Amino acid sequence: MTRRRLGRSDLMFEPLVFGGNVFGWTLDESAAFAVLDAFLDAGFTAIDTADVYGKGKSEIIVGNWMKARGNRDRVLVFTKLGSEMAPGEKGLSARYMVEAVEKSLRRLATDRIDLYQSHRPDPETPQDETLEAYDRLVKAGKVRFIGASNFSAGQHAEAARISAARHLVRYESEQPEYNLYVRDRFEGPLQNFCVEHEIGVIPYFSLAAGFLTGKYRSEADFGKSPRGARMGRYLDAKGTAILAAMDQVSQETGASLAEIALAWLNAQPGVTAPIASATSVAQLQSLIKGARLELSKPQLDALTAAGK
C-alpha cells in the first residue's frame, strides 16, 4: 500500500482517512474504539474530526481512545474549527482561534494537532488575520500543519499570496465535497489550483452520504438509516446512471459499490485520500479494500462518464 504526502508537508499516510463525524452520533464510544482499533491495525493512521461534530463529542472520543491505547505517536489527528459551537463561538478570528485550539487540544487529550483546518471560509475575518494566527500556533508547537475546507480556488489563491508575501504557514490541504455524483465543487479551477500548487486534497462525502454504497435504490430504502432522508437529492437520472455504471464495474471486479467509489476518487488528479466513515468493523473492512483497489482505465472512464 503506497502512502501519500499531504501537500508539501511531511504528513505521509495511506489513501484513506477515517471520518470522525459518526463518533458520538451513530457510534458510541465503545463501538468507536473497536472500529478505530481495526483501522490502526490495518495500517491506516489518519483520523479527521472537527470541534463541531457532536459539539465536541467526536474529539473527546478520539482523545479517550488515544489515551486508553497509548498510541498518540502512531496516529495523525486532523480536526477543524470555524463552524458555530455556541453563540459567539465561531469563525476564524485570531481571538477565537486561540480559544478554539486550546479546547480541541483538551478534548483530544494531546499537545498538538497534526492538521488544523478552517472548516469553512469566514467572510467577517480577513485571511491575513487568520493565517497570522495559524502561524503563531505552528510556531508554538500546538499545530503542525494547516488546511482548509470548502474554500474556492480564488480563496486559496488569496491565501497562498498572503502566506508567500508574509512568510507565513500556508494551507497544505483542501477538504471539498467530492464524489462520483457531486463533481462541480472540486473539478475545474479548484482542482487545477490544488494540483498546480501541490495542495493535498482529502474529499468528504466520498460515498455521497451513503448513496454510493448502492443501499438506496428507491424511496422505500430511505428509512434504512438516519442518513436516508438525504437520499432524495441523489436518486435522479444521474444517480441511477452512476449506480448502473458501478454495478457493471462491480460485476467485473467483485468489489462492492463503496469500494468502487473510493477507488475512483483515489484515481482522480490531486486527490491525496478520501475521507470515509464506518459504523462497524465489517463496514471498515470494505473501506480498506476500496482504498487498496485499482480500477482499469476503461472502468474509470465509464464511471466518470456516468456522472457527467
Q: Using pLDDT thresholds of 50, 70 and 90, give the confidence band for residue 1.
A: low
Angle at 261 between CA 228 and CA 242, to 5 degrees: 70
Residue with cell 473492512: 285
Q: CATH no. for residue 69?
A: 3.20.20.100
Residue 142 domain flag: yes
Cα–Cα distance for residue pair 307/294, rounded to 1 Å: 19
Residue 284 domain flag: yes
Residue 42 domain flag: yes
pLDDT value of residue 222: 75
Cα–Cα distance for residue pair 119/121, rounded to 1 Å: 7
Q: Using pLDDT thresholds of 50, 70 and 90, give the confidence band for residue 225.
A: confident
Share of the chain above pLDDT 90, in %: 93
Share of the chain above pLDDT 70, in %: 99
- Domain span at residue 145 reads 4-211+257-296
Residue 220 pLDDT exceeds 90: no
Cα–Cα distance for residue pair 264/303, rounded to 1 Å: 8
Residue 278 domain flag: yes
Spatial contact of 154 and 160, defined as CB atoms under 8 Å apart:
no
Residue 240 domain flag: no
Give the active site residues: 53
**Cβ-based neighbours of 252, under 8 Å, separated by 6 or more:** 299
**Distance of alpha carbon 145 from its chain centroid, rounded?**
15
**Distance of alpha carbon 224 from its chain centroid, rounded?**
24
pLDDT tens sequence across 66-125: 999 999 999 999 999 999 999 999 999 999 999 999 999 999 999 999 999 999 999 999
Q: What domain count does the chain have? A: 1
Q: In what order do the strands lie in the sheet with 113-118?
A: 200-201, 171-175, 143-149, 113-118, 76-81, 46-48, 17-19, 275-276
Residue 163 domain flag: yes
- H-only helix segments in 42-85: 57-69
Cα–Cα distance for residue pair 221/228, rounded to 1 Å: 7
Residue 251 domain flag: no
Residue 64 domain flag: yes
